[in-house]
Amino acid sequence: MPIEFQKGESTLHRLDARTKLLLFVGLTMVAVIIIDPIFIAILFLVLYAFGARAVDRALLNRNLRVLVAIFSTFSLFQILFFTPEDAFLLFHLIPGREWIPVTVEGLIRGVAVFFRFFIVVLSVHLMLYTTPPVYLVLGLTRRERRRGLLRTAGVTVLLGAVFYAAARLAIPEQIARLPFEAGAQMALGAAVAVLAAFVVFGLATHGLPPEMGLALSLGFATVGILSQQTQRITDAQKARGYDVKPKNLIRRVRVLTALLLPIFLATLERSQDIAVAILARAFDFNISARTYRQELRFAAPDYLVMALIVGLILGGLALNAMGVGNPTEQFVLRALGA
């Protein structure tokens, strides 16, 4: 079923639309970095708890339940085909031929993969459920507003420090192999990190053109309408005694054509009405001078969420760099005497 905005006054609803976009990107990175199944399961449960306070739990469960089989399949592939060197073998699925080994490492990584996919999907669901489409598009649209030099410099330096710390934790060996002394390596790394931060900050604050923002806004708003319109047409065909799900494949294709034709015509008619409405409001006149009724501003909770995401990313990289990124696997292997 379509994911539509649900009104509410929860913590997620009050966050800035840009914060929720960064939250989705950050959680995706965290899901890739953290490999311990217990850590990533706890992160999923915390995110689910916030989501259950913001959105109807039954609605959230109904949309997530259909993905259990798909993500279980991905986890099964991880269990069957993740066989690193010196892995602790449990058994073979085909013992006579010793084919398809199942290892402790594969089982643990399979559980982690299951929750990893759910974190990414759940963050997308919560972003769409708790953010009006117009605010989401506004966060992506370019707004011609001058930014202070000190603010730009401060954000660039702070973001550069995060990039530098992440690089030192993620690729320390590659940095150590650079043909420079330690001080020169540090200075070069800091310069590259600040330059990358300046580019990323510039791209992030540039935004999309207003025309593309309008197209995205219409796209978000039309998804739910098209879904309702499709359901109405299907119900009308059923009311006329039309079998919309025949068992015969050829008849099913004919039924699909009979359903798609009125849907396509209704969509064209709606598109023409929208085009006339846009032209009547002179949207294409002096677009660069447009103003916005709503101005997005970060508040204290937004900065707190961004700090937590950065902390999770750097914390996960630090655990991996220290060799304790998967304590569950290490504990199980020690318990088995490996």
Is the entire prediction scored with pTM above 0.85?
A: no
Per DSSP, the residues of 6-46 read: ----SHHHHS-HHHHHHHHHHHHHHHHH---HHHHHHHHHH
Across 18-45, average pLDDT: 91
pLDDT at 108 over 70: yes
pLDDT at 289 over 70: no
State pLDDT tens for residues 205-260: 777 777 777 777 777 667 667 777 778 887 887 787 777 677 777 777 777 777 77
Per-residue model confidence (pLDDT) at position 2: 59
Kindly list the domain boundaries of the chain, sorted by start residue. Answer: 1-143+296-338, 144-206, 210-289
- Residue 281's CB: how many other CB atoms inside 10 A? 9
Average pLDDT, the chain: 82
State pLDDT tens for residues 303-327: 999 999 999 999 999 998 888 888 8
CA distance 295 to 209: 16
For residue 224, give every residue at least 6 positions away whose Cβ sits within 8 Å of its Cβ, in sequence order, or none. Answer: 2, 4
